[in-house]
A and B are shown apart, each in its own frame.
Chain A
Amino acid sequence: MKVLRLIPYAVLFGYVGAAAVGLVVLLALRSDGGVGPDQPIAFSHQIHAADLALDCTHCHQTVEVSRFPGIPSTDVCMVCHEFTATDRPDIQRLTRLHNEGRPVEWIKVHSVPWHVYFTHKRHIKAEIECTACHSDVTVQLPVRQVRSFDMGMCVNCHRANGAPTDCWTCHK
Chain B
Amino acid sequence: MKRRDFVKFLGVTPGALAGSGSLADAQERLFENLLRPKQQDPADMWVVHQTTCTECPAGCGVLVKGREGRPVKLEGDPDHPINRGGLCMRGQASLGRLYHQERLREPLARGADGSWEPISWNAALDRISNALVESRGGSRNVYLSSRTTGSLAQLLDEFAASLNVERLPDLELFSYGALREAYDVLFGRREVPAYHVEEADLLVTVGADLFESFISPVRFARHVSEGLEHHLDWYHLEPQLTMTGTNAGHRIHLHAGSEQWLLAYLLKSAQPRSPLPARVLDAVPDVTIEQAFARTGVTPEQLQGLVAAWDAAEHPLVIAGGVSTAHAGGLPTALLAGLLQESSGAIGNLVDFGEAENYDSVGTPGELVDRVVDLASANVGVCFLSRLHTLAPVAGLQEVAGSAVLTVGLTDFLYPPTEACDLLLPISHSLESWGDVETYRGLTSVVRPAFTPLFDTVAEGDILLHLMAAPGNWEDYVARQWQAAGADVEEQPFLERPTRPVSTRLRAAPTADRLASSWTPDTLEEPVLAFSPSVRFFDGRSQVISLLNEIPDPLTAVSYGWALSISEDDAMMQSVEEGHVVQVSALGSEDFFPVRVHPAFDFAVLSLGMEHAATAALPIDANTGELIRCIGGVELGRVRDSAVLTVLSGSMDASGRGVLPNDVHHPPGVEAHEPGHEPRRLYPTPEHETYRWAMAIDLDKCTGCSACVAACYVENNISIAGPDEHRKGREMSWIRIQPYLDGDRPIEFMPVMCQQCGNAPCETVCPVYATYHNPDGLNAQVYNRCVGTRYCANNCPYKARRFNWFAGQRPEPMDLLVNPDVSVRPKGVMEKCTFCVQRIREAKDHAKDEDRIVLDGEFTTACAQSCPSGAIVFGNLLDENSEVYRWAHSENVHRILEGLGTEPAVYYLRQDNRGDTGHE
* Chain A residues engaging chain B, CB cutoff 8 angstroms: 61-62, 65-68, 70-71, 73-76, 98, 101-106, 108, 111-115, 117, 119, 121-122, 125, 164, 166-168, 171-172
Q: Contact between A172 and B37 (Cβ–Cβ < 8 Å)?
A: no
Q: A111-B27, A172-B823 given as contacts; is B774 within 8 A of A66 (CB)?
A: no
- For A104, the chain B residues whose CB sits under 8 A away are 35
Interchain nearest-CB distance for B17 vs A (Å):
13
A75-B38, A114-B24, A115-B784 given; 7 more Cβ-contact pairs under 8 Å: A62-B42, A67-B44, A73-B36, A73-B40, A106-B31, A117-B821, A166-B775
Which of B398-406, B787-795, B837-845 interfaces with chain A? B837-845
Q: A167-B780, A172-B838 given as contacts; is B35 within 8 A of A106 (CB)?
A: yes
- For B25, the chain A residues whose CB sits under 8 A away are 114
- Interface membership of B58, Cβ < 8 A: no
Residue of A with least CB distance to B13 = A101
Q: Contact between A68 and B30 (Cβ–Cβ < 8 Å)?
A: yes
The distance in angstroms between the C-alpha atoms of A108 and B34, with both chains bound, is 11
Q: Which 8 A-B pairs have the closest CB atoms?
A: A66-B42, A103-B35, A62-B42, A115-B784, A67-B44, A71-B34, A168-B780, A171-B782
- Interface membership of B778, Cβ < 8 A: yes
Residue of A with least CB distance to B825 = A115
Interface residues of B in 792-845 (CB under 8 A from A): 821-824, 837-838, 841, 845
- For B42, the chain A residues whose CB sits under 8 A away are 62, 65-68, 70
- Interface membership of B26, Cβ < 8 A: yes
The distance in angstroms between the C-alpha atoms of A74 and B34, with both chains bound, is 11
Q: Contact between A166 and B774 (Cβ–Cβ < 8 Å)?
A: yes
Q: Contact between B783 and A108 (Cβ–Cβ < 8 Å)?
A: no
Q: Contact between B37 and A102 (Cβ–Cβ < 8 Å)?
A: yes
- 26 A-B contacts, Cβ less than 8 Å apart? A62-B41, A62-B42, A62-B43, A68-B30, A68-B34, A68-B44, A70-B34, A74-B37, A75-B37, A101-B37, A102-B37, A103-B36, A108-B28, A108-B31, A114-B25, A114-B824, A119-B44, A122-B845, A167-B769, A167-B772, A167-B774, A167-B780, A167-B782, A167-B785, A168-B774, A168-B837
Q: Contact between B27 and A172 (Cβ–Cβ < 8 Å)?
A: no
- Interface membership of B39, Cβ < 8 A: yes
- For B470, the chain A residues whose CB sits under 8 A away are none
- Interface membership of B45, Cβ < 8 A: yes
The distance in angstroms between the C-alpha atoms of A167 and B43, with both chains bound, is 24
Interface centre among B25, B34, B823 (most CB of A within 10 A): B34
The distance in angstroms between the C-alpha atoms of A103 and B41, with both chains bound, is 15
In this complex, how many residues of chain B approach chain A with their Cβ under 8 Å: the count is 39
Q: Contact between B27 and A112 (Cβ–Cβ < 8 Å)?
A: yes
The distance in angstroms between the C-alpha atoms of A171 and B771, with both chains bound, is 12
Q: Contact between A70 and B40 (Cβ–Cβ < 8 Å)?
A: yes
The distance in angstroms between the C-alpha atoms of A122 and B846, with both chains bound, is 11
Interchain nearest-CB distance for A166 vs B (Å):
5
Interchain nearest-CB distance for B407 vs A (Å):
41
Residue of B with least CB distance to A117 = B841
The distance in angstroms between the C-alpha atoms of A171 and B28, with both chains bound, is 17
Interface residues of B in 837-881 (CB under 8 A from A): 837-838, 841, 845, 848-849
Residue of A with least CB distance to B820 = A172
Q: Contact between B45 and A114 (Cβ–Cβ < 8 Å)?
A: no
The distance in angstroms between the C-alpha atoms of A111 and B43, with both chains bound, is 15
Residue from A62, A113, A166 in contact with B784 in the complex, judged by beta carbons closer than 8 Å:
A113
Q: Contact between A61 and B40 (Cβ–Cβ < 8 Å)?
A: yes
Q: Contact between B822 and A172 (Cβ–Cβ < 8 Å)?
A: yes
The distance in angstroms between the C-alpha atoms of A68 and B232, with both chains bound, is 51
The distance in angstroms between the C-alpha atoms of A146 and B769, with both chains bound, is 30
Residue from B26, B772, B785, B848 in contact with A114 in the complex, judged by beta carbons closer than 8 Å:
B26
- For A168, the chain B residues whose CB sits under 8 A away are 774, 778, 780, 782, 837, 841
The distance in angstroms between the C-alpha atoms of A167 and B778, with both chains bound, is 11
Residue from A101, A106, A115, A166 in contact with B783 in the complex, judged by beta carbons closer than 8 Å:
A115
Q: Contact between A73 and B31 (Cβ–Cβ < 8 Å)?
A: no
- For A172, the chain B residues whose CB sits under 8 A away are 821-823, 837-838, 841
- For B824, the chain A residues whose CB sits under 8 A away are 114
Interchain nearest-CB distance for A82 vs B (Å):
15
- For B43, the chain A residues whose CB sits under 8 A away are 62, 66-68, 70
Q: Contact between A171 and B44 (Cβ–Cβ < 8 Å)?
A: no
The distance in angstroms between the C-alpha atoms of A167 and B775, with both chains bound, is 10
